[in-house]
């Protein structure tokens, strides 16, 4: 079912920043065990390499290059979101960069199609995304929306500029918990070449509360393309409001952390035991 959903989504997409579907069909030979012909998919050839390959050495990209790639991905994702498609598994492994520098989005296996019925799965990656880039709401078991892609793109941009993801841990569950209850090191503490305005934009994209992030890719792309107009002090003040919000609701940091950790552990146990989750 997930394979068919991915094909259904791919047929709707025709954008220079998204890998195109060329053809689908079934093999001529029949599987002797199942009595069925195997399905196949032909995708557009992208002449380039994975964005991940640019990050293997742990060195940051040039600021201009990172911003250019992020803006291109914003444009591709805005196109997808306008069609009711949320990627939900953004990561450097799902982005190709062509020889002429065009970022191309791939792999819609975990994508959410607006209005489509839910699919059940026991796979962490297929259902939720990849721990290093998962939004807090996905970690907490929600399906996510366009703002979840905003968060993941913010994490990717942080990694492009810092040379490493914002959160690290010995296990996937440890990383997942950090997305919900921790804050990354300030970007400029890892790369002093990052302008203060860009640091503030990345931080806003990565806010834990979806309502306090950029609400769509167009708004994120605008600020990335007009950093001279961004007021870091204003964005920092907004971030401070989010930081004190749990205390204002009467939740201590220890209580909040314990609750989140328990939820993440239970989610992980469910996945490990093969529990079927509805998405």
Number of separate helices (H) and strands (E) present in the chain: 11, 9
Report the alpha-carbon distance of residue 132 to residue 200 in Å, rounded.
20
Angle at 240 between CA 128 and CA 135, to 5 degrees: 5
CA distance to 20, 24, 48, 70, 129, per residue, from 45 (Å): 9, 15, 9, 22, 24
Tell me whether residue 140 is exposed, middle or buried, using C-beta atoms within 10 angstroms of its C-beta: 0 to 12, 13 to 18, 19 or more.
Answer: middle
CA distance to 74, 85, 145, per residue, from 155 (Å): 13, 20, 16
Tell me which of 47, 89, 228, 231 is the catalytic residue: 89
223 is catalytic: no
Q: How does 154-179 read in b/e, with b if 16+ C-beta sit within 10 Å? A: bbbbbbbbbebbbbeeeebbebbbbb
Q: Which of 111, 41, 101 is nearest to 71 (CA)?
A: 101
Cα–chain center distance at 77: 11
Catalytic residues: 89
């Amino acid at each position: 079912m997930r394979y068919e959903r991915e094909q259904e989504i791919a047929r709707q997409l025709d954008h220079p920043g998204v890998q195109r579907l060329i053809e689908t069909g079934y093999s001529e030979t029949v599987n002797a065990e199942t009595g069925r012909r195997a399905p196949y998919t032909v995708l557009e050839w992208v002449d380039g390499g994975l964005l991940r390959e640019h990050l293997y050495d742990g060195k940051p990209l040039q600021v201009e290059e990172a911003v250019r790639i992020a803006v291109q991905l914003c444009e591709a994702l805005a196109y997808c979101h306008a069609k009711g498609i949320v990627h939900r598994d953004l990561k450097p492994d799902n982005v190709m960069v062509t020889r002429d520098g065009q970022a191309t989005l791939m792999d819609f296996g975990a994508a959410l199609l607006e209005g489509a019925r839910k699919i059940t799965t026991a796979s962490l990656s297929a259902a939720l995304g990849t721990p290093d880039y998962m939004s807090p709401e996905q970690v907490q078991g929600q399906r996510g929306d366009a703002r979840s892609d905003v968060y993941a793109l913010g994490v990717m941009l942080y990694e492009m500029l810092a040379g490493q993801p914002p959160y690290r841990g010995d296990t996937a569950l440890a990383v997942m918990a950090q997305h919900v209850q921790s804050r990354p090191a300030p970007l400029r503490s890892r790369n002093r070449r990052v302008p203060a305005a860009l640091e503030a934009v990345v931080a806003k994209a990565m806010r834990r509360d979806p309502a306090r992030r950029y609400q769509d890719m167009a708004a994120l792309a605008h600020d990335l393309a007009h950093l001279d107009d961004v007021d870091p002090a204003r964005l920092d003040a907004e971030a401070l409001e989010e930081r004190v919000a749990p205390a204002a609701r009467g939740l201590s940091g220890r209580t909040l952390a314990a609750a989140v950790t328990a939820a993440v552990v239970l989610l992980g146990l469910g996945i490990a035991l093969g529990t079927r989750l509805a998405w």
